[in-house]
Amino acid sequence: MNHFLFGACYYPEHWDRSWIQADAALMAQAHVNVVRMAEFAWTLMEPARDAFDFGLFKEAVASLKAQGIDSILCTPTATPPRWLTAEHPEWMRVDINDVPFTHGTRQHCCTNNPGFRAESRRITRAMAEAFKADAAVIGWQTDNELYCHVEECYCESCQVGFREWLALRYDQSIEKLNHAWGTLFWSQQYDDFDQVVIPKKWRQPAPCNPSALLDFRRFLSDSVTAFQREQVEILREVNPDWWITHNGVFYNIDYYKFAEDLDFLAVDVYPAFWGTKPEDFIGGSQLNERCRQATGTYIVPEQCGGPGGQIDFLQPTPEPGRMRLWAYQSIAHGADGMLHFRWRTCRYGAEIHWHGILDHDNVPRRRFEEFAQEGAELKKIGADILGTTKRVEVGISHSYEQDHAQGVLSFSRPQPDAQRELLLGTLMRQKVAVGYVNEADSYAGLKLLIVPSAIVMDAERAEKIEAFVSQGGVLLVTATSGQRDVNNHAIEQTPPGLLSRVLGITVEEFGKTEHRRMQLQGAGLEMDANYYEIIQCTDAEPLAHWHFEQNPQTEAAEGCVGLSCNEFGAGKAYYLGTFLNEASAMELMQRLCDVADVQPLGRSDTNVCIIERYAADRRLTFVLNNYPEPKEVTALACGQNILTDQSCDGTLQIEPFGVAVIRS
């Protein structure tokens, strides 16, 4: 990026062509410097096979550039035209009940179908060739929100693709697959890969093979990554100067791997999905973190421009100031571009009430004024933001592999994703520099690493965790970690297996309660729980023990260790034999931050967020007030509020839904 991106999603195909120049002029008044276009316009650009007509978008790109506005184009493969789907009904996705999808929505064609892939490559190349010499087109988005609506498909192409993927994964050896899936259980052995069918978790007389389900999820991620890669290769071949992204993030895609083909990832953020109470900020924060952990730098191609709504729902209307606040929330987490959805609310279709910057009548009102304020501010401070990265001193380990391994055998226990969100919210409320860190990434620079329920463990990962602690890091690992291998098989060693050395423990037993009150007590902690693990300390020090209020003599865990700490090299490794809740998380996180010498970035009310981005020559402290009333913030880094050009002596008053950016 050579400047901070600010703009909106634009759909000239929904309006008369005569509106384009007026739209461009009004966008320029709001300091827009980029728009995103064409992700759903395949039919318009190719009304009949090979009858390409890119005239509307060429006109739009030119008119926008005349006002100083660049364009991001999208491959339109989420919405193939009817003439194409009518020719090939076999290209449709098939649901778990073996019912094919029909035309009239989006993402209805299977991205694993060879014929549809060929058509996707064809339209991608045609678009790329049409715009390859246009300097106003600065980048591309592949498709649109892959796996947003549906992830699984059970069509014949997926059956074939899954078998081919398995054969490649297991070196053409059905014996290796049988071993990896443990097919001796329930006499599931296969004689060759052609016998394998996609497992259907909810459509069987008894539970499916969990290792098969895990491999199917891996296949879903790898296959959609391959679908995208075909488009990326064409775009890079036609014009290597374009940058390329994709707008996530959804489930069943390992974005850390998916984004290796991209220049950076992107994420669509609609915080109203989680609500508009002050405490609901965590929904948007965790979504931004899921994107940032994959590529570091990212942009937001869609941020709310008004209340979102489709056929069966309408979100709360954001109060004045909310749109700007939510935009800065993403920027604080690391976004280097901010586009709002959409420029103008469409007058027809499934999103007739998914509101944009302008309403149906095209009259600029308060949302436009707020949008323009945001544009003016980002034009002013964008150069300060670019080149900075989010400070993370407390890392929360993120892994889709862990999510999938737990998800196929959840036992109704808190999943890693839910634990991450709880911990992220808790630590953000304590105003420390916290963020998600992919488990494949470096731990350099972290003071505290939290590993929530890393049930799958291998030697490489265990050694990296050991190195982090031995070099002085503080580690917290939570229940169920280290219990399985990469095939999702229970290991033969006593848990936590490969983590036993760094943690200095073994886990002798686990269980759950439903009607009896159970507490973990000791070291000044007292936390309620309904799941326990009995810890045997081999080298670690016991910190807290299990206690049952009623009939404790009948409980196996009574008096046993549930929280431990092991000094390992220059660091400390804690193990918690249960799952945290809001009350217990706040207390334990504060204690661990003290041990790791993690200092808050400032002080204020619970749901005022303080987030830092930094570079070698500057710190940017973002202060975000999620309350509808003013708040005082203290203990900030001294400097200048670059939004207002006022100096900050470490204390400031921030208005309702207000934002401050302190440069120091």
Contact of 282 with 428, CB cutoff 8 Å:
yes
Closest of 35, 556, 638, 626 to residue 301, by C-alpha:
35
* Two tokens, residue 599: 């200092």
Task: Give the tokens for residue 354.
Answer: 């998914």
Whole-number Å distance between alpha carbons of 620 and 659: 12
Q: Rounded CA gap, 384 and 651, in Å? A: 22
Interaxial angle between packed helices 114-131 and 210-238, expressed in degrees from 0 to 180 and rounded to the nearest 10: 30
- Beta strand 608-615 pairing with 243-245: unpaired
Residue from 184, 177, 150, 179 nearest 163 by CA: 177
Rounded to whole angstroms, the Cα distance separating 373 from 106 reads 34
Packing angle of the helix pair 174-181, 210-238 (nearest 10 deg) = 120
What is the rounded CA–CA span in Å between residue 586 and residue 94? 45
What whole-number distance in Å separates Cα of residue 539 and Cα of residue 285? 38
CA distance 132 to 134: 6
Residue from 39, 119, 145, 555 carrying the catalytic annotation: 145
Query: Which helix (H) or strand (E) segment is 608 a member of?
Result: strand 608-615
Q: Measure the CA angle with vertex 376, ends 374 and 377; round to 5°.
A: 65
d(CA 420, CA 426): 10
Are 405 and 339 in contact by the 8 Å Cβ rule? The answer is: no
Terminal CA-CA length for the chain: 23
**Among all chains, which residue has been given the structure tokens 């050009």?**
645
Closest to 56 (Cα-Cα) out of 14, 24, 8, 4: 14
DSSP code at position 269: B
SS3 state of residue 500: helix
C-alpha to C-alpha distance for 25 and 21, rounded to whole angstroms: 6
Which of 39, 46, 289, 302 is catalytic? The answer is 302
The neighbouring-strand residues paired with 438 are 398
Quick check: is 302 catalytic? yes
**Cα dihedral sign, 279-283-284-286:** positive
> How many Cβ atoms from other residues are within 10 Å of residue 470's Cβ?
14
Rounded distance between C-alpha atoms, residue 12 and residue 638, angstroms: 46
Closest CA to 116 of 153, 73, 169: 153
CA distance 278 to 625: 8
Whole-number Å distance between alpha carbons of 274 and 280 = 6
Query: How far apart (Å, rounded) are the C-alpha atoms in residues 627 and 605?
Result: 9
User: 51-65 burial string, b = 16+ CB within 10 Å, else e?
Assistant: eeebebbeebbebbb
Dihedral, CA atoms, 385, 388, 390, 391, nearest 10 degrees? -130
Q: What are phi and psi of 589, to 5 degrees?
A: -65, -40
Residues carrying an active site annotation: 145, 302
